[in-house]
Amino acid sequence: MRKQSIGTPTLFSISLLLLIFFSCAPIFAQKKSDPVFSNFVYQGNDAVYNEHPLKADEFYSPILQGCYPDPSIVRKNNDYYLVCSSFAMFPGVPIFKSNDLVNWKQIGHVLDRPSQLKVENSGISAGVYAPAIAYNKQNDMFYMITTQIAGGMGNIVVKTTDPEKGWSEPYKLNFGGIDPSLFFDDNGKAYVVHNDAPDAGKELYNGHRVIKIWEYDVQKDQVIAGSDKIIVNGGVDISKKPIWIEAPHIYKRNGLYYLMCAEGGTGDNHSEVIFVSEDVKGPYIPANNNPILSQRHLPAQRKNKVDWAGHADLVEGPDGKHYGVFLGIRPNEENRVNIGRETFILPVDWSGKFPVFENGLIPLEVKLKTPAGVENRTGKDGFLPNGNFTFNDHFKNAKLDDRWVALRGPREAFARPTKNGLEIKAFGTNIKDAKPVSALLHRQQHNAFSAKVTLKFNPLTSKDFAGITCLQSESFNYIFGITKKENKTYLLLVRTEKGISKVLDSKEITAGSPITLQVAADGDNYQFSYAQNGTSYQTMGGIVSGDILSTNVAGGFTGALIGLYATADNDIQPAEY
């Protein structure tokens, strides 16, 4: 390639460069009112893990704790890659890598650029639904296909030859519905299957859905117009009015095509079902022993309850056995779902015609046996921790840990690690806005946990606020932090329910001095406390309910998030405290 010569800079070009520099540089030029967070510590203390210590050949399920739902998994050689839904979180679609299905590292996110992820005006439970990852050995390419309920995106696909080196810009796909997945046949042909509504006028009952298949043009990255066909109508037995047949995946084994789907909706009636066909386009015949995975028929009061099991994907393990990843929930003592839907795993028996999740129809166990020859190294050597663990972040690294996410926009737009801690530039939006907010968020991963952080902040006006948040959505959350009233600085605890905020407690504090803020939960009981000397904590507001942090009360599809939050649009008026 011929290089262009660079001439002497003109006065105009120098002026332009100076203008760009001085307009961009102040983005993170710290003001006195910018909060700095340091020494974040999250610690889990669930009784179930204390009561079930691991032996050398065991590991815990869920393998991904916290809001990591709708898992999809693929294998290339000895590498496994797993993705999950992320809704309006940014970056989107967390991706994990393993060599053994036990020890996992997060290698980043699939959708990590605004050009790929347009969720800036989305409610927290909109955005990215049910990503599915696939590998096409014909062109040595990985694909991630998903439905993006935001920004006019719809169903999209991105691709890469190396999941650790970033993904393409999205290709918008010409079909409706949700939950698409790709299947690459060994003859080079490709297909998309997905959930959709029945044809116009043919919906028989509320929740009646179908599974469609399309031929897929790998060269154009587009479905082939007119190739669509309904391959499942309603579910396993439409006479029983099954609801929400969805999350389809096709597998080929011994010359037969297997279609596995979730059925019953992602709640108390969730399950996984399987069909078989001699042709990829059907007809698909359901197995006579469906469902092959469910917890819906079990006693409600069982110990160490796991529920809502379904939305699964299958892969061959390192020991030659098959395994299935799927979502499930671990409710608290009030049967509320604060942690959200997590990623579990079970071995799968495929010795017969149909695959069956081993012990998938009885109460799920806390521990599983590792595949033969696999050592449990979770929490070591860079692998994600599991069970009860502590996560410390001193914000000393230039790059934020992948476990931190923002809402509706890039983290880097407001959060910057510095030598003193994490500096957050407050946006003119607050936590109740369905817009990008300046909050760096970590998933709640246990029913019993504590999270604390030290904050240095000197608010200048009543519009300035900084502290921590426990967030289920923009309409249901707690905020606990510092603001200004006239010439005094206050610490506030605020509960927001259905978008209406109420101050639960307030206390005048010394302006500008470091303060440690802590939230601790034991099931449904949450406590917010502070320490100005780093050791002696005082509780604000007493014990408060975590009800608004549950999907039972708040609705939606996410789990609770714990955030480091700042705003220049505090809307709690001085008269309210």
Q: What is the largest CA-CA distance in the chain?
A: 79
Quick check: 73 and 79 in contact, CB under 8 A?
Answer: no
Q: 388 near 426, Cβ under 8 Å?
A: no
> In sequence order, what are the residues at sequence separation of 6 or more whose Cβ sits closer than 8 angstroms to the Cβ of residue 458?
32, 33, 489, 511, 512
Residue 531 CB-density burial (10 A; 0-12 exposed, 13-18 middle, 19+ buried): middle
Q: Label residues 290-316 b or e (16+ Cβ within 10 Å = b).
A: bbbbbbbeeeeeeeebbbbbbbbbbbe
Q: How many CA atoms lie within 13 A of 403 on its CB side?
A: 20
70 is catalytic: yes
Contact 455, 566 (CB under 8 A): no
Please give the Cα distance from 199 to 526 (Å, whole number): 48
| Dist CA 275 CA 287 (whole Å) | 6
Beta bridge partners of 302: none
Q: Is 375 a catalytic residue?
A: no
* Phi, then psi, of 10 in degrees rounded to 5: -85, 165
Task: Pull the structure tokens for residue 316.
Answer: 């061959």
The torsion of the CA quartet 84, 88, 90, 92, rounded to 10 degrees, works out to 30
Rg (CA), the chain: 25
CA dist 455 and 175 (Å) reads: 48
268's CB contacts (< 8 A; 6+ apart) are 296, 307, 308
Q: Of 70, 100, 522, 524, which one is the catalytic site residue?
A: 70
Alpha carbon of residue 367 to chain centroid? 23
Q: Which of 100, 179, 196, 246 is catalytic?
A: 246
- Enumerate the active-site residues: 70, 246
